[in-house]
Amino acid sequence: MLIGLAAVIAITLVVIAAFLIPAVIEIRKTAIALREFTSNAENELKPVLNELHVTLAELKNFAEMTTSRRDDVRSFMEALGDTGRNLRIINSVVGTVAGFLANTSVWAVGAKAAGRMILERLSKQRKEG
């Protein structure tokens, strides 16, 4: 009786290991892919943000040179402020999305891949058995 119970436990552990090892490998691959994606996105966004900062600096210099047209300059500066606020919002949204993706996508994709793999293995075992 005790040997039979030990055999069942051993078989159960082997089956669990057979499912968990590939699932962990898939989760690791997903994490690496997500890390590469966020790195690429960050590398692509940095030059754009730098260009936007340069453009804003040039616009500020231009606004300072046009002080003789006070009303026009005031309207221009309001639009420039709106642009700055919009850039801050975009930056915040990008940061939030990147954080959200880093926290949820890895687990969701990994869990989905693990579930698919477990279902495939179970269906193969039923077909064989």
Question: How would you label 17-36 residue by residue, b for 16+ Cβ within 10 Å and e otherwise?
Answer: eeeeebbeebbeebbeebee
Residue 106's alpha-carbon distances to 6, 32, 45, in angstroms, are: 36, 9, 22
Tens of pLDDT along the chain (129 residues) come to 778 888 888 888 888 888 888 888 998 999 999 999 888 888 888 888 888 889 888 888 887 776 667 777 688 888 888 888 888 888 888 788 777 767 776 677 777 777 788 778 877 777 775
Q: pTM (2 decimals)?
A: 0.35
